[in-house]
Amino acid sequence: MSAPRFLIRGAQIGSGSATDILTQGNVIAAIGSGLDSAGAEIIDAHGLIALPGLVDLHTHLREPGYEQSETVLSGTQAAAIGGFTSVFAMANTNPVADTAGVVEQVLALGEAAGYATVRPIGAVTQGLEGMHLAELGAMASSRAQVRVFSDDGKCVSDPLLMRRALEYVKSFNGVIAQHAQEPRLTEDAQMSEGEVSARLGLAGWPAVAEEAIIARDVLLAEHVKSRLHVCHLSTAGSVEVIRWAKARGINVTAEVTPHHLLLSEDRAETYDARFKVNPPLRRREDVLALREALADGTIDIVATDHAPHPSESKECEWGAAAFGMIGLESALSVVQESMVETGLFTWDDVARVLSITPARIGGLASHGQMLAVGAPAEITLVDPHDRQVFTTDRLAGQSHNSPYLGIDLPGRVMWTIHQGYATVAGAKLIATDIIAAQAEEVRRG
């Protein structure tokens, strides 16, 4: 199989002007007009925005152990449909990704699937139990070269253990990604604490449960001079803590999910468990504060927290339902709706928070580069003018617990190019056998 070659005609690169992009193998060979099209597949990209392939620093692929919800293959297919060419897979699998063996298994599954680069996230503690540190050094030196560690789904609530983890990862420039949730303050909590939770009779989840952990951890990061990343910020108070920490020079980064940029706590009034998530949907004031913080750089990136669940875990009463939403297929549309359409973002900003910065935080040098000659051929082409009701036809993963079903959203990913070959063409997935063959060709060099 010869190296793929694409001539992308008329694409607008980010917020810039329209031009042509020529790829050769897994690199961008030329940008400009009058490019040699010999042997190239022509992509008519007039009216489309070209972005560096999207990178998600927070994805739950569920494999090994929870394949009824998602697999590495189905999850990376969902990623490709959403324009993502790389995902970081969280550690809360079964067995937990707390050893070199498990993270290498996840890495191999991603390589075999071929739809996106999969970088495993290692657990901070053994079994996510918060008692003893996991094999951080072994995972970092394994073939997976893990640099991000998280007990996401659970908080590293022990301050001494958190300090030790921050100290340990300094030796290989790792980062601890904290799920900020004080467990004693959120026992039996079902949604954000406030007027709506009181009216619905659902146990409340106070904002301070998130903010207190973030405040503690930025001080710990300052004390040991290590890197901290805060997962899924959801409150205005959390924004202020991060803003204070950055002004102080603390090495902290933060993410916000698409759903916290668009949806608010009033969605719980339907008792539709698709809107049950951890951390919970918050007040409208929090939504607006998160948008402003993303726009001014206080929040560094958007990450999906893609959390697939089988239908029986969501199509039930609220109290018995699982926490979590899927988000890979819809993330770019939600960012366009909440940030671009509101005038808070340009398309260059979208590239920054959905590709360039998450790749930098995760230490993924092969992704997250501005589209330029010599850069990796990791490209997402989106039609910003497409607007339609989001339906299950847009979903490529195994689970359908999307909070956006029935909601009108802008934008549609038309092409996703990963390692120089197309995983999505004309908004349709390329067949699995074709992708696997191309991925094998890339691995062989």
d(C-alpha 91, C-alpha 106), whole Å: 10
Q: What is the DSSP string of 173-222?
A: T-EEEE----GGGGTT--EESSHHHHHHT--EE-THHHHHHHHHHHHHHH
d(C-alpha 330, C-alpha 308), whole Å: 13
- In 225-319, where does DSSP find H-type helix? 236-247, 258-262, 284-296
305 is in an annotated binding site: yes
Residue 340: CA count within 13 A, CB half-sphere: 23
179 is in an annotated binding site: yes
CB atoms within 10 A of CB 444: 7
d(C-alpha 108, C-alpha 71), whole Å: 13
232 is in an annotated binding site: yes
Biggest CA-to-CA distance, the chain: 66
End-to-end alpha carbon distance in the chain = 11
User: Angle, to 10 degrees, between the axis of helix 159-169 and the axis of helix 208-224?
Assistant: 50
The answer to whether residues 41 and 388 touch, using CB atoms and an 8 Å cutoff, is no
Residue 413, both tokens: 């990913």
275 is in an annotated binding site: no
Strand order in the sheet with 252-256: 148-149, 175-178, 228-230, 252-256, 301-302
60 is in an annotated binding site: yes
394 is in an annotated binding site: no
323 is in an annotated binding site: yes
385 is in an annotated binding site: no
Residue labelled with tokens 């394949």: 67
Enumerate the β-bridge partners of residue 20.
Answer: 32
61 is in an annotated binding site: yes
The answer to whether residues 97 and 134 touch, using CB atoms and an 8 Å cutoff, is no
405 is in an annotated binding site: no
Q: Which residues are catalytic?
A: 305
d(C-alpha 307, C-alpha 15), whole Å: 31
Residue 400, both tokens: 């359908």
92 is in an annotated binding site: yes
* 203-to-198, 235, 259, 359, 437 alpha-carbon distances in Å: 8, 18, 21, 37, 51
d(C-alpha 121, C-alpha 149), whole Å: 5
d(C-alpha 377, C-alpha 53), whole Å: 8
Known binding-site positions for Zn(2+) = 58, 60, 152, 179, 232, 305
Known binding-site positions for substrate = 60-62, 92, 278, 309, 323-324
Known binding-site positions = 58, 60-62, 92, 152, 179, 232, 278, 305, 309, 323-324
